[in-house]
Amino acid sequence: MNQAQIKVISSGKYIPKETITNQDLEKMVDTNHDWIVSRTGIVKRHKAAEQEESSDLAYHAAMDAIKKANYDINQIDLIIVASITGDQMTPATANFVQTKLGITHECMSFDINAACTGFVYGLEIAASMLASGRFRSALIIGSEKLTKVVDYTDRNTCILFGDGAGALIVEPSEKKEDQVYFYNAAKPDELLSLTVERYIKMDGRKVFLFAVDIMQKGIEKMLNESNLTIDDIDAIIPHQANIRIIQAVSKAMNIPMEKFVLNIEEYGNTSAASIPISLDEYMLDQKNRNQKVILVGFGGGFTYGSALINL
């Protein structure tokens, strides 16, 4: 049983300005706007500038979270960046973020790669490390520059992915209601990969079936572990991969679509950034504070995971 209690302090996001619309993609591959919208729910995705790396997107998302709470940067002593598109092999993207934030005091910073589930994995790692008593404040970021690894001649994948970053600052909490629950795991499979050949490859249909199944399991696990019912949950923040995956989960579990936070239309699939971006958009509405939300994701690996947190 997970005993970690975390206080959510602030969230942030960064979305690059440039967009790739469905109409833009029609000029690159044999596809069309109606097919993309009806099969995925995506209308556009955002694209980072040439010189903007994942650490830049992550830095801006972190600054957004810091500014919103007027947070003392000196508190942060743990930075975790989840990404499959880090700036380079080493130093870690998190090390670059630490430098960009100007954090020169002792702070542990490192990257994790759990594909699209990276942020949920990162949150569990941070919660455990905070519960150890050795850290006082964690900054967890999901950041992706996926446009640099998308093959714009492959219509099966290029319509899906976009760039962006989301961040969350959390601290340990004394309050019982801040208890968090996690379910993070993996099942080896290579149906979704990004190899040194540089491009994302995916068997979309098989990933789709896996996703519908595992997202239901992720939500059920959270309800069982916490002894709550779906009515006690204010919102579900799913990985934004395909609107039809979310609709299928909603239908199979009899959970109204209104309970799911959605923004796939605007950003497409931003991998590890998708859940924290959605979380930030949800938290922007002050009335959504002090709520119980389930985060649920899946991705290459296959990795999958869910978290139940109190905002």
146, 240 contact by CB (below 8 A): no
Instruction: Give the count of alpha carbons within 13 A of 309, CB side only.
Output: 25
Beta carbon nearer to ligand UT7, 39 or 148: 39
- Catalytic annotation, pick one of 22, 113, 242, 269: 269
Question: Residue ranges of the alpha helices (H) in 168-299?
Answer: 204-226, 243-253, 264-267, 274-283
Q: Which is nearer to ligand UT7, 150 or 192 (CB)?
A: 192
Residue with the shortest CB distance to ligand UT7? 204
The answer to whether residues 301 and 241 touch, using CB atoms and an 8 Å cutoff, is no
CA angle 12, 19, 38 (to 5 degrees): 100
Rounded to a whole number of angstroms, the minimum distance from the CB of residue 26 to ligand UT7 is 9
Give catalytic status of residue 239 as yes or no: yes
User: How far apart are alpha carbons 279 and 285 in whole angstroms?
Assistant: 11
| Distance in Å, CB of 224 to ligand UT7, minimum | 25
Q: Whole-angstrom Cα distance, residue 13 to residue 193? A: 26
- Please state whether the peptide bond connecting residue 302 to the residue before it is cis, i.e. omega within 30 degrees of 0: yes
Query: From the candidates 95, 107, 113, 116, which is the catalytic residue?
Result: 116
Residue 255 backbone dihedrals phi, psi, to 5 degrees:
-110, 125
| Residue 168, H or E segment | strand 164-172
212 HSE (CA, 13 A, CB side): 16
Nearer to ligand UT7, 34 or 72 (CB): 34
> Least distance in Å: CB of 239 to ligand UT7?
6
Rank residues 40 and 54 by Cβ distance to ligand UT7 and give the closer one: 40
Q: Which residues bind ligand UT7 (CB under 6 A)?
A: 31, 35, 39-40, 116, 155-156, 159, 192, 202, 204-205, 207-208, 211, 241-242, 269, 271, 299
116 classed as catalytic: yes
- Residue placing its CB nearer to ligand UT7 in the complex, 110 or 208: 208
Measured from the CB of residue 266, what is the shortest distance to ligand UT7 in angstroms? 16
| Cβ at position 233, least distance to ligand UT7 in Å | 23
- Considering beta carbons, is residue 180 or 273 the nearer one to ligand UT7? 273
> 164: left (phi > 0), else alpha (psi -120 to 50), else beta?
left
Let me know if 213 is exposed, middle or buried by CB neighbors in 10 A (0-12, 13-18, 19+): middle
Tell me the C-alpha distance between 40 and 207, whole Å.
13
Catalytic residue among 22, 239, 242, 310: 239
105 a catalytic residue: no
- 293 neighbors 277 (Cβ within 8 angstroms): no
Task: Give the shortest CB-109-to-ligand UT7 separation in angstroms.
Answer: 25
- Catalytic site positions: 116, 239, 269
